[in-house]
Amino acid sequence: MSYFLQWEDLPCNVQTWQQRPDCETSYLLEVKFITGTVLDIGCGIGILRQFLTGKNQYYGLDVTRKFLHVAKGNRINASCLQLPFSNNSFGTTLLKDLLLHLPKDCYKECLSEAFRVASHRVILNEGKMAKETKYEIGEKQGKYFFFWNIYGEKDIFEYAKSCGAKTIETFGRKDKPDWQLTVFYK
Protein backbone atom coordinates (compact mmCIF):
# COMPACT_ATOMS: atom_id res chain seq x y z
CA MET A 1 0.00 0.00 0.00
CA SER A 2 2.97 2.34 0.39
CA TYR A 3 3.03 2.92 -3.38
CA PHE A 4 -0.30 4.72 -3.13
CA LEU A 5 0.76 6.95 -0.27
CA GLN A 6 3.23 8.85 -2.47
CA TRP A 7 0.37 10.29 -4.52
CA GLU A 8 -0.88 12.26 -1.52
CA ASP A 9 1.80 14.89 -1.89
CA LEU A 10 1.65 15.36 -5.61
CA PRO A 11 0.94 18.92 -6.67
CA CYS A 12 -2.75 19.40 -7.49
CA ASN A 13 -2.94 21.83 -10.40
CA VAL A 14 -6.56 21.85 -11.56
CA GLN A 15 -5.96 24.10 -14.57
CA THR A 16 -3.25 21.81 -15.95
CA TRP A 17 -5.60 18.82 -15.78
CA GLN A 18 -8.53 20.65 -17.35
CA GLN A 19 -6.50 22.22 -20.15
CA ARG A 20 -5.10 19.01 -21.60
CA PRO A 21 -5.85 19.24 -25.34
CA ASP A 22 -7.73 15.92 -25.46
CA CYS A 23 -9.64 16.38 -22.21
CA GLU A 24 -13.05 17.46 -23.49
CA THR A 25 -13.20 15.16 -26.53
CA SER A 26 -12.12 12.17 -24.49
CA TYR A 27 -14.70 12.71 -21.75
CA LEU A 28 -17.53 13.40 -24.19
CA LEU A 29 -16.88 10.05 -25.87
CA GLU A 30 -16.77 8.21 -22.55
CA VAL A 31 -20.07 9.76 -21.42
CA LYS A 32 -21.87 8.23 -24.42
CA PHE A 33 -21.33 4.76 -22.95
CA ILE A 34 -22.20 5.45 -19.31
CA THR A 35 -25.35 3.74 -18.07
CA GLY A 36 -26.93 4.59 -14.72
CA THR A 37 -24.83 5.44 -11.71
CA VAL A 38 -21.12 5.74 -12.49
CA LEU A 39 -18.06 5.06 -10.36
CA ASP A 40 -15.03 6.95 -11.67
CA ILE A 41 -12.15 4.86 -10.30
CA GLY A 42 -8.99 6.92 -9.94
CA CYS A 43 -11.01 10.08 -10.57
CA GLY A 44 -8.28 12.55 -9.67
CA ILE A 45 -10.03 15.90 -9.44
CA GLY A 46 -13.27 14.50 -10.89
CA ILE A 47 -13.32 16.15 -14.32
CA LEU A 48 -15.74 13.54 -15.71
CA ARG A 49 -18.55 14.88 -13.52
CA GLN A 50 -18.79 18.15 -15.44
CA PHE A 51 -19.58 16.27 -18.66
CA LEU A 52 -22.40 14.13 -17.26
CA THR A 53 -26.05 14.99 -17.66
CA GLY A 54 -28.54 14.89 -14.82
CA LYS A 55 -29.53 11.31 -15.62
CA ASN A 56 -26.28 9.88 -14.22
CA GLN A 57 -25.36 9.90 -10.55
CA TYR A 58 -21.59 10.34 -10.16
CA TYR A 59 -19.22 8.88 -7.58
CA GLY A 60 -15.52 9.70 -7.75
CA LEU A 61 -13.04 7.40 -6.05
CA ASP A 62 -9.37 8.17 -5.56
CA VAL A 63 -6.67 7.19 -3.14
CA THR A 64 -5.42 10.80 -2.99
CA ARG A 65 -7.38 12.94 -0.53
CA LYS A 66 -5.92 16.17 -1.90
CA PHE A 67 -7.48 15.53 -5.33
CA LEU A 68 -10.81 14.66 -3.75
CA HIS A 69 -10.92 18.01 -1.94
CA VAL A 70 -11.03 19.66 -5.38
CA ALA A 71 -13.55 17.19 -6.84
CA LYS A 72 -17.26 17.90 -6.57
CA GLY A 73 -20.08 15.46 -5.90
CA ASN A 74 -19.90 12.13 -4.12
CA ARG A 75 -16.24 11.49 -3.28
CA ILE A 76 -14.73 8.35 -1.81
CA ASN A 77 -11.19 8.03 -0.52
CA ALA A 78 -10.23 4.39 -1.15
CA SER A 79 -7.91 2.13 -3.10
CA CYS A 80 -8.87 0.75 -6.52
CA LEU A 81 -7.65 -2.63 -5.28
CA GLN A 82 -10.32 -2.93 -2.60
CA LEU A 83 -13.48 -1.08 -3.55
CA PRO A 84 -15.77 -0.49 -0.54
CA PHE A 85 -18.97 -1.41 -2.40
CA SER A 86 -21.10 -4.50 -2.82
CA ASN A 87 -21.37 -6.41 -6.10
CA ASN A 88 -23.22 -4.66 -8.95
CA SER A 89 -23.49 -1.35 -7.06
CA PHE A 90 -22.97 0.83 -10.16
CA GLY A 91 -24.31 0.70 -13.70
CA THR A 92 -20.90 1.68 -15.05
CA THR A 93 -17.36 1.80 -13.74
CA LEU A 94 -14.75 3.91 -15.51
CA LEU A 95 -10.97 3.56 -15.35
CA LYS A 96 -9.24 6.44 -17.13
CA ASP A 97 -5.45 6.53 -17.26
CA LEU A 98 -5.24 4.41 -14.14
CA LEU A 99 -3.85 0.97 -14.92
CA LEU A 100 -0.68 2.32 -16.48
CA HIS A 101 0.27 3.86 -13.13
CA LEU A 102 -0.18 0.70 -11.07
CA PRO A 103 2.64 -1.69 -10.25
CA LYS A 104 2.43 -4.61 -12.70
CA ASP A 105 1.06 -7.09 -10.20
CA CYS A 106 -1.95 -4.89 -9.39
CA TYR A 107 -3.76 -4.38 -12.70
CA LYS A 108 -5.70 -7.65 -12.52
CA GLU A 109 -6.88 -6.93 -9.01
CA CYS A 110 -8.03 -3.45 -10.05
CA LEU A 111 -9.91 -4.74 -13.12
CA SER A 112 -11.47 -7.52 -11.08
CA GLU A 113 -12.82 -4.98 -8.58
CA ALA A 114 -14.14 -2.74 -11.38
CA PHE A 115 -16.07 -5.69 -12.86
CA ARG A 116 -17.31 -6.81 -9.45
CA VAL A 117 -19.02 -3.50 -8.63
CA ALA A 118 -20.34 -2.81 -12.18
CA SER A 119 -23.72 -4.21 -13.17
CA HIS A 120 -23.67 -3.31 -16.90
CA ARG A 121 -20.32 -2.16 -18.21
CA VAL A 122 -16.72 -1.26 -17.51
CA ILE A 123 -15.12 1.51 -19.55
CA LEU A 124 -11.36 1.49 -19.91
CA ASN A 125 -9.49 4.47 -21.32
CA GLU A 126 -5.79 3.73 -21.11
CA GLY A 127 -4.64 5.02 -24.46
CA LYS A 128 -3.89 2.70 -27.35
CA MET A 129 -3.12 -0.78 -26.09
CA ALA A 130 -0.03 -2.52 -27.39
CA LYS A 131 -0.06 -5.95 -28.99
CA GLU A 132 1.88 -7.26 -26.00
CA THR A 133 2.18 -6.12 -22.40
CA LYS A 134 5.30 -4.08 -21.63
CA TYR A 135 6.23 -3.44 -18.05
CA GLU A 136 8.32 -0.36 -17.58
CA ILE A 137 10.23 -0.13 -14.37
CA GLY A 138 9.05 3.44 -14.01
CA GLU A 139 10.81 6.68 -13.51
CA LYS A 140 11.68 8.87 -10.61
CA GLN A 141 10.69 12.51 -10.91
CA GLY A 142 12.04 14.37 -7.92
CA LYS A 143 10.80 12.48 -4.89
CA TYR A 144 8.00 10.78 -6.86
CA PHE A 145 8.15 7.43 -8.64
CA PHE A 146 5.81 6.74 -11.55
CA PHE A 147 5.01 3.50 -13.33
CA TRP A 148 4.41 3.61 -17.09
CA ASN A 149 3.04 0.20 -17.95
CA ILE A 150 1.56 -0.48 -21.36
CA TYR A 151 -0.83 -3.39 -21.25
CA GLY A 152 -1.36 -5.68 -24.18
CA GLU A 153 -4.84 -5.79 -25.64
CA LYS A 154 -4.82 -9.59 -25.59
CA ASP A 155 -3.90 -9.74 -21.87
CA ILE A 156 -6.53 -7.16 -20.90
CA PHE A 157 -9.28 -8.72 -23.04
CA GLU A 158 -8.62 -12.26 -21.80
CA TYR A 159 -8.66 -11.13 -18.20
CA ALA A 160 -11.82 -9.05 -18.76
CA LYS A 161 -13.57 -12.14 -20.13
CA SER A 162 -12.56 -14.10 -17.03
CA CYS A 163 -14.17 -11.28 -14.97
CA GLY A 164 -17.46 -11.54 -16.83
CA ALA A 165 -17.12 -9.42 -19.99
CA LYS A 166 -19.48 -10.83 -22.61
CA THR A 167 -18.92 -8.26 -25.38
CA ILE A 168 -15.96 -5.97 -26.02
CA GLU A 169 -16.00 -2.87 -28.22
CA THR A 170 -13.06 -0.63 -28.98
CA PHE A 171 -13.13 2.87 -30.41
CA GLY A 172 -10.34 5.00 -31.81
CA ARG A 173 -10.00 8.58 -32.97
CA LYS A 174 -8.64 9.65 -36.35
CA ASP A 175 -7.12 12.78 -34.83
CA LYS A 176 -5.31 10.83 -32.12
CA PRO A 177 -4.01 7.44 -33.27
CA ASP A 178 -2.56 6.57 -29.85
CA TRP A 179 -6.00 6.85 -28.18
CA GLN A 180 -8.36 3.94 -27.60
CA LEU A 181 -11.57 3.59 -25.61
CA THR A 182 -12.62 0.08 -24.66
CA VAL A 183 -16.10 -0.80 -23.41
CA PHE A 184 -16.68 -4.16 -21.76
CA TYR A 185 -20.32 -5.25 -21.49
CA LYS A 186 -21.33 -7.73 -18.77
User: With DSSP H G I counted as helix, E B as strand and the rest as coil, what are the percentages for the chain, rounded to 5?
Assistant: 30, 30, 40
Each residue's pLDDT tens digit, 35-49: 899 999 999 888 888
Average pLDDT over residues 171-178: 74
What confidence category does residue 134 fall into, taking pLDDT thresholds of 50, 70 and 90?
low
Higher pLDDT pick, 71 / 40? 40
Mean pLDDT of 169-182: 79
Handedness of CA 109, 62, 114, 129 (dihedral sign): negative
Write the pLDDT tens digit of every residue in 84-104.
Answer: 999 999 999 999 988 877 877
What is the crossing angle of helices 107-117 and 153-162, to 10°? 40
- Domains recognised in the chain with CATH numbers: 2-185 (3.40.50.150)
Task: Look at residue 37 in the predicted model and tell me its pLDDT.
Answer: 96
pLDDT at 119 over 90: yes
Instruction: Return the exposure string of 58-91: e unless at least 16 CB atoms fall within 10 Å of the residue's CB, then b.
Output: bbbbbbbeebbeebeeebbeebbbebebeeebbb
Cross-strand partners of 74: 59
